[in-house]
Amino acid sequence: MNLEADPNLIVHFAGQYIPLREARIGILTHALHYGTGVFEGIRAYWETAGQELYLMRPHEHFERWKRNCEILRLEVSLPIDELCAITAQLLRRNAIHADAYIRPLAYKCAERIGVSPDNQDAFAVVALPYGEYLRSDQGLHACVSAWRRVEDNAIPARAKICGAYVNSALASDDARRAGFDEAILLNESGHVAEGSTSNIFMVRKGRLITPPVTENVLEGITRSAIMELAERELGMRVAERPIDRSELYLADELFLTGTAVGVAPVVRVDHRAVGDAALGPIAGQLRHLYFEAAHGRLRNYRKWLVPVYKPEADSGRGTNRLEQANAA
């Protein structure tokens, strides 16, 4: 999904709330030339019945972001609760009453030539209305990309390092130019890694399978949510093991998971039907459960959510601290 942001959107930049049109960096900024940044993606879901916007697992996302920043020696000094408060404040200031996407970005901000980074760090947070990333109601037609997923000893795929996403851009662009909806990347061992921007799950002979995080995949938060839902709600243990390319052609079901995509079924791979070439029963159940949880309709998973407009109505983790930070 391509979406031009409103230049009047309020963002958090250089420690201030300012319009997007005023949030600018110089053309010599280190991260622009060398990819020395780490971003995060967080979703918020609008629940019409309760007139509430729910942030989905923001604490876990900010924790992952700060941890991954350490790989590039980037420092984000604010505590996680304050980052959550900034995010909720942005959503309120922009009066967002729809599904939204939040993009925190930390980056090396020195304006100079030279690949070696220094200790000049900055960060920004943007929150904007955002619908479907991949239109997947009819299922996706994917291809196995000729590009391989980056290796951990080259650029760690487990972290959202800006420069690493050239790998995703190349694979995604080739797939779309060839008429596919999405790309599936293999790692250098020839095993299935993930989609261009999402983790992958396979159902085969009644078992739910996904590559382990040691196969050069993102340590996905939506991935972990799906694994928890599968075990607790469907009684299915997820097997984490390598997946061969040819298994994609023999799978009963395939689906992608991620913050942006949610749960997106893959119904064809390399012009071969997956199962019945339709949304499978397990993917369908997990997709339903995930979005029910994300919209606050499953009480057992309210722990994942932080309400934006009526925090006092929720007893989820961090709510009181979030309110205190907002009031400060």
Active-site residue set? 160
Alpha-carbon gap, residue 229 to 247, rounded angstroms: 24
Terminal Cα-to-Cα distance of the chain (whole angstroms): 37
Alpha-carbon gap, residue 61 to 105, rounded angstroms: 12
Longest dimension (CA), the chain: 57
Two structure tokens written together for 162: 């800006």
CA 269 to chain centre: 22
Q: Hey, which residues does 272 pair with through a beta bridge?
A: 269
Whether residue 146 contacts residue 126, with contact meaning beta carbons closer than 8 Å, is answered with no
From the list 190, 185, 157, the residue with the least C-alpha distance to 172 is 185
Tokens 């984490």 belong to residue: 240
